[in-house]
Amino acid sequence: MWLLIDPIIFFVENSMKTHFDELLDFPTVLNFKVMGVACDELPDLIIAELQKHTPGDYTTRITPSSKGNYHAVSLPVTVTSKAHIEQIYETLNAIEQVRYVL
């Protein structure tokens, strides 16, 4: 039997069931890839949100999509706990221009 689940609802309901604390030794550097609408301010919006939780100097790498409608912004972030990782995911997903955070 197949069950159709709305991916957004599934993500929200299961977003706190991660095992980062079992798999990683903290502090550690994780590479986040943030995919969003192609706009000049996207990297600045991402960095501004990260500065609220993890102050530091960030170097971004921006890769445009083949049609140029989206940008993938990659950046390394030093995280200190499972809760810190989840907080970063939630914060970055809250940016209006962001579509996915990997």
pLDDT in tens, the chain (102 residues): 344 443 443 344 445 567 777 888 899 999 999 999 999 999 999 999 999 989 999 999 999 999 999 999 999 999 999 999 999 999 999 999 999 999
**In this structure, is residue 61 part of a structural domain?**
yes
Token couple for 52:
């609220």
**In this structure, is residue 18 part of a structural domain?**
no
Q: How far is CA 10 from CA 4, 17, 96, in A?
A: 10, 11, 20
**CATH code, 47:** 3.30.70.260
pTM of the predicted protein model: 0.78
**In this structure, is residue 44 part of a structural domain?**
yes
**In this structure, is residue 11 part of a structural domain?**
no
Q: How many domains does the chain have?
A: 1
Host domain of residue 65: 29-101
**In this structure, is residue 87 part of a structural domain?**
yes
**In this structure, is residue 63 part of a structural domain?**
yes
Which parts of 38-90 are beta strand (E)? 61-64, 70-79
**In this structure, is residue 1 part of a structural domain?**
no
